Amino acid sequence: MAVTKKLVKTIPYVKSSKVEKWHLEMQYENDSEGDATYYTSTFDADVNASDTDASGNVTNNFTKAAKSSFSNADLVALCPVSLWDAVFASQVDSVITNPPSKPVPDDSFNVPS
C-alpha cells in the first residue's frame, strides 16, 4: 500500500497582518488512480494560534506571524497527521482490504410446501 498525502488547501485567517487561524485540508491517496486498490480521502482541520487562557496557560498550536513566514512543512506540522493516518488506514481496510461481504442469492431455493 503506497499512501501519499499532500496539503491541498491552506486558508489563513489574518488580523493585523498576522495569521490567527489556519484552515488546512490534506488529501490522502492509496496507490494510483485506476488501480484496484486505489482509495482517496480528504481531511480538514481548523488550527488556532497560540494564546494564553485565563490561568496563564499557553493553548493551541502556533505563534501568530505573517502568512508568508509559514512553509509547507510548518503547515503540515500543524495537522493532526497521526490521527488522520489511523482513520485513513481504517478506511482503506474497510473498503479495499477487508470489505464487508455481501449476501449471495440462492436461486435454487424452492418455496417450502
Instruction: Quick: pLDDT tens for 2-45.
Output: 899 999 999 999 999 999 999 999 999 999 988 999 999 999 99
What is the structure's pLDDT at 5? 97
The DSSP result for 9-66, as a single string, is EEEEEEETTEEEEEEEEEEEEES-TTSTT-EEEEEEEEEEBPEE-TTS-EESSB----
* pLDDT over threshold 70, residue 1: no
Q: 109: number of CA atoms within 13 Å, CB side?
A: 6
Is residue 35 packed enough to be buried (19+ CB in 10 Å), middle (13-18) or exposed (0-12)? exposed
Q: Cα-atom radius of gyration of the chain, to the nearest Å?
A: 22
pLDDT band of 60, cuts 50, 70, 90:
low
What is the structure's pLDDT at 20? 94
Decide: helix, strand or coil at residue 109.
coil
What is the structure's pLDDT at 52? 67
* pLDDT over threshold 90, residue 84: yes
Instruction: Using a cut of 0.85, tell me whether the model's pTM lies above it.
Output: no
Q: What is the mean pLDDT of residues 86-100?
A: 91
- Single-letter residue type at 21: K
